[in-house]
Structure 1
């Protein structure tokens, strides 16, 4: 069981850009208010993409369980596989990224809007 750590941070605003139909990864370092890297090694992560906050419509779900979010220390990587993003029918989405401790404590560590650029060349090689 992990030590109960109260992260006590405001979510970082992160607004990545993703090229649809291209394997894209976005990595950032989660830090506390003093700028020190957080250790989130044993945390699970959950992130939902929606058209706007509080929308019931869900575009996509990313998590450590489905392999689309990884974390080493405070280095968090979001994975947008080409096969998934090729099917996106939207240009922007809002999200928040939740870190869940082994004790079940939930922390919103990042939030923002993601822009998705559609592909132009769609022929399979």
Structure 2
């Protein structure tokens, strides 16, 4: 009788231990699955964010050449308040004005143009006209 009771207790303990192990395993697996799903979502969202950024920069590239203009244009696209848009547009215009003054198209004096034309009209050495 005592042995039966002891065997039942041992069996009961083993069943409880096995049930605990299985529930822990299930909890761990579901947690891992949730983590993987979260990581997938993060990866997807970071991919979409990066493509949006790249598209913005590409779109801006067509409009302006300088890095500062690119960032300002992106700000203009993303902000809603008209004051901020006006201020960033001013920055862009000022930057373009700076560019045009720092890289002016070369203007020659009339004498220099005449001298160039005369030089071009002269025959090359060894060539008869």
TM more than 0.5? no
Tell me which interval the TM-score lies in, with the shorter structure as reference length.
Answer: under 0.3
- Higher Cα Rg: structure 1 or 2? 2
Tell me: higher relative CO, structure 1 or 2? Use CA pairs within 8 A at least 6 residues apart. 1
Instruction: Give 1 or 2: higher strand fraction.
Output: 1
The TM-score normalised by the length of structure 2 is 0.19
